[in-house]
Structure 1
Amino acid sequence: MKRTLFRYLPGLLLIVLTIALVAVAGQRNIAFSDIKLFVDGEEVAVHTDADTVKDVLHNNQIILDAHDRVNYDLDQKIIDGMNIEVSRAVNVTVIEGERQSLVKTHDKTVADVLAKLNTVVSDQDLVEPSRDTAVVDGLVITIKKMEVREKTIDRDLAYQSVTVEDDQLAYGTVEMVRVGETGLITTVIRENVIDGRVVSTEIVDQQIAQPVSEIIAHGTYVEPVVVSRSEEAPVEPAYVADVSQPVAAEPAPAEPVAEAQGTVMYMTATAYNDIGITFSGVPSGPGKVAVDPNVIPLGTRLLIESVDEWPSYGEAIAADTGSAVIGNIIDLFYYDYQTCINFGRRTVKVTILP
């Protein structure tokens, strides 16, 4: 038995040696590769004997999400010097009004994210943060849609009142020729509103209905009958101040004067409302006053100013005379009878005008 074992021992040793040599040779034939692995831009140098890209990721404990991207197919064979890039999707929250959604994206900017949304985002809509902001994990994008609304504004245009002289109407008569009509401007305004705040406006339409002027005629026709304040009997309801009664502290009668520019006199004034032709031949009316021609020549232009609380009469012309207008007396025309009564008898400053 021993002789038989020794007989086969050399053969067994040869077999064992052969197996060992084959194993060593196999170990020497295993290929290792030097590659670079980038995960979201961070580089990892890898010395690996992995066969595929999938194996490399597995060996480096990199678990891919459904939205992650790899620049090679996972079954791609490993080649020495490869650069494997893994780009992970980031979480972005998009809020639009009452709606909120979570988006996983590889986009670089907010504008890129908006371009892929199901909703239309116009250039006028307000986006926060700005559209050129870089996308990072956890970013919240708020979209505020612009609301466009229109409103109509009406504004009245006041009409003007135009006075014309009518020589067919009796002097002192007032007649409405045409009733005025208010105009109207209708404006349609378009407002762009974000979060209840008007950010811009524009006029989209405007219609204007022009006002119609009111026309009032004042009669200028006078019957060709001479009526002068020089007559003794006053014409009712004219009021002629009673100058026969003495008045305390009445200014002294003025001396007769020539028409000299700038001459100033203080005179006693009364008021009348006779309608007719004055002694100088012109119709009586506002600005026509009666004087004593020995004191102020007819046709003289005057400036009559009040020295008390009564409003100043203003510029006038010496156009009439009167039996009661003697010396330092001047009689002023007013249309209204009650105004004449209220005026009574006052001292006024009279300046001769050029």
Structure 2
Amino acid sequence: MKKQIGLLIPMIIGMMLITAFGIPQDKTVVIEAGSEQFTLKTRVETVRELLDETDLILAEYDYVTPGPEDMIENGMTITIRSATPVWLQADGAEERLMTTENTVQGLLQSAGIQLGEYDQVEPAMMTLLKPETRVVVTRVQKEYYYETVEIPPQQITRFTDALPVDETRLVQEGEAGLTLARRARITKDGQPAGEELVSTEVLRPAMDHVEEQGRERLLITGDGDLIRYKEVYTMTATAYDAGYYSTGKNPGDPGYGITRSGTRVRPGVVAVDPRVIPLGSTLYVESLGRSSSYGVSYAEDTGGAIRGNRIDLYYESRSEALRFGRQSVRVYVLEDE
């Protein structure tokens, strides 16, 4: 039993010495270098000692994290980023830099480049850097100013049937308006680079200059014919036939089927108020409702109920007249040929 105790004493003393004097223990470390990654065990104390131990050679601008003087901890990951050569052009100078940044934004931050509100950067800020990427910073300045701008009135011509052909009359005198424009003079790297319109505010709207001009009165019929007319009316139209219920006459009676003008009634004859449309006028009756247009017709008749803007259209049968009923029409008084 005494012999066994004697053997334990050196072991206990050894463990006490390890604890007291800090004999190094193995630590597991992961090293990432670009796309490569490997794991190793080490007893060194600092990152620098580990790099020396593994014979890893760093270029002047390579970046290591944690830093070379940081202490090694078990399970630590050490990242080595190799520097990339890029070009940076800014503030009138161009230089070739070695950088471990991944993006254009990171390059500018590491280079201490402060961007103004309107400065431009090419390529875009989040572009990934590649060897020999050229990054250009353009300093943009804007000088704002205001000016008033006159708005010319629009020239508007309205064609009307109320005037003779080509005759004009003033409807409204035009008046110029006024706008307040905010503009910016732009310089890029100290050189003029044009102007831009920032905003506008209407101080006084322009008033259109309006004239009316007489036009030739032309009607395009439903058949595609072009007809000149001199007057046009919107009227209420009814229909009649030659029988007793429309004229009070029967076949054989004196004047049966004879119009006020002395002509024989027939399709195309209409009754009008002579105070509105003179007897003998040639008309074109255009439907504004459900039926087809009555077409070219002749003002040869009158009627006791036809007064003012009323017109009566002749049909050969009472059933046709009743079917027409009462409708709105547009009546064109055609020019004499």
**Greater gyration radius:** 1
Same fold (TM over 0.5): no
* TM-score (norm. length: structure 2): 0.36
With normalisation by structure 1, the TM-score equals: 0.35
